[in-house]
Structure 1
Amino acid sequence: MREFLKKNLDPMIPLYSVIPLITCFAFNTLVYYGAMSINSNRYHYDFTTNFDRSVPIIPIFVIIYFICYGFWAINYIIIGRIGREHCMRFVFADISSRCICLIFFILIPTTNIRPEILGNGIGEQLLRHLYSIDHPENLFPSIHCLVSWFCYIGIRGQKQVPRWYRAFSCVFALAVCLSTQLTKQHYIIDVFGGILIAELTYYIAHHSEWYRGVEKIFNKISALVFGKNNIGL
């Protein structure tokens, strides 16, 4: 099995990055739903501003809100392919950012009042569906904006990634941030909070050696699962 994975999976997703990237997804899910469970019976603050009220709702932008999940998967894999050290620094930043999000989610539970959606176009139908499956909680900071910005800064300045795709990732990340506003999923402060936390944790990860502890843990786990030779140790 290890040889099969090395031959067939490693060329697409380096085996050293598989466990770390899966952990990022799992930890993100744990933080989001764990905080929601902890805050289920607590008072939630509404930080809607006059600016937020003035922003129009444009339901068709929900398509960007949904398809960004594919964008996340693709870019995280690309980031994992850049190199072991870059991947481990990125994963450290990603996990650290969710720890910060968890603190905010628990200390300042947030919510908002969503507008009534009129019409039966594809955008309106998809937005009503989003509202039905995603409760208005854990708004600050916006994980949608945070992860989308990570998808950009994780390849920013990386010459092994085509320049056009780096530019596209920046534009699409900004489009995701815009979609959170035009679908009334987040306040404007949530956008800036997500971007700032992504930039802060990414900076720390690339200007310190703190990622080394995380790297050692993932290397040990990956070696057990895939074998030392298959992960380049």
Structure 2
Amino acid sequence: MKNKIAGLLPLLWLLAIPVLNLFYTILNHGETNVRSLVTGLDERIPFVPAFIIPYVIWYPFIITMLIVLFLKNRRTYYRTLLTLCLGLITCYIIYYFYQTTVGRPIITENGPLYGLVKLIYATDRPYNCFPSIHVFTSYLMLKGMSDCANWSRTARLGSTVISWTIIVSTLFVKQHVWLDIVGGIVVAEVLYAVVRKWIIISEKRIPPAISPSEDHLPASRPSRSSHR
């Protein structure tokens, strides 16, 4: 029983995510020089309230994916979680020095979907946009999944569809622009490659463990029959 509990302790490292997210709230303001990365292409993208559903699904999706990675491949779980934490720190540094904003539509309609959009708008100010954390983390889950060989085809397809739907939803609910998506993907690709390389180098520096049974075995003596 104790071994099972000890084996689950690395899951507590997920608590690093909400701790780091405290900085998101601190930085989510427009008190500095705020820039806009909106392009003509972004202006042509319509506001579609239905996309608020995958946008909100992002919250449980990321945690679920990390738990599944933990159960399927512990090494990939550590690599993905470390990349996620480093990515959040990277995004926060960028937000501090290069704050951007996205113009939001004025919601006058009523209904469940519009109400959910209003709730998101009210709880998340229109800053901290480039790069998109929604995009960075959703794309990162695909990177982690690609390193796991024991995922079924159905699970891979479902996770891929959900991830990309979340990424696209950031555009249609007017929370992000195209450059925010590009930035999130670049951060995920670069940091995941760096963390993977660092882990490989670290493992090569660790000498192979010697089995206790082999370490304490006396040197073998030549057989008498060999001298006959």
What is the aligned partner in structure 1 of residue 178 from structure 2? Answer: 188
Residue 92 in structure 1 maps to residue 87 in structure 2: no
Aligned to 2:189: 199
d(CA) in 2 for partners of 1:201 and 1:30? 21
- Return the alpha-carbon distance in structure 1 between the equivalents of residues 130 and 95 of structure 2: 7
Question: Shift of residue 211 of structure 1?
Answer: 9.2
Which ranges in structure 2 are unaligned for 5 or more consecutive residues? Answer: 203-228
2:12 matches 1:24: no
Partner of 2:125: 135
The answer as to 2:129 corresponding to 1:147 is no
Cα RMSD of the aligned pairs, angstroms, is 2.2
Alignment TM-score, normalising by the size of structure 1 = 0.79
Instruction: Please point out which of 58, 64, 75 is paired with 1:68.
Output: 58
Alignment identity in percent? Answer: 27
Contact 2:66 2:81 in 1 (8 A): no
Instruction: Decide which of 52, 72, 84 is 1:82's aligned counterpart.
Output: 72
Is it true that 1:34 corresponds to 2:38 in the alignment? no
Q: Is the 8 A contact 1:139 1:190 kept in 2?
A: yes
1:56 corresponds to 2:49: no
What does the per-residue CA deviation read over 1:139-188, in whole Å, with 9 as the maximum and x for residues that have no partner? 00000111111222111141222221122111111101111000000011
Amino acid at match of 1:17: P
Which stretch of the first structure deviates more once superposed, 16-25 or 45-54?
A: 16-25
Alignment TM-score, normalising by the size of structure 2: 0.81
Q: What is the CA-CA distance between 1:83 and the residue it aligns to?
A: 3.3
- Helix, strand or coil at the partner of 1:154: helix
What SS class does the counterpart of residue 207 from structure 1 fall into? helix
Structure with greater Cα Rg: 2
- Contact 2:69–2:76 (Cα < 8 Å) also in 1: yes
Structure 1 runs (4+) deviating above 6 angstroms are none
| 1: CA distance, partners of 2:79 / 2:118 | 38
Distance 1:173 1:192 in 2: 15
Is the Cα–Cα contact under 8 Å of residues 60 and 122 in structure 1 kept in the other structure? no
Cα offsets for 1:55-105 (capped at 9, x unmatched): 000011101111121111110111222333222222221122112112210
Provide the secondary structure at the position in 2 that maps to 1:178.
helix
Corresponding pairs, count? 203
Consecutive unaligned residues in structure 1, runs of 5 or more: 213-233
Structure 2 CA distance, aligned partners of 1:209 and 1:159?
19
CA contact (8 A) 1:117 1:128 kept: yes
The CA distance in 1 between the partners of 2:37 and 2:177, in whole Å, is 7
Q: Is the 8 A contact 1:43 1:109 kept in 2?
A: yes
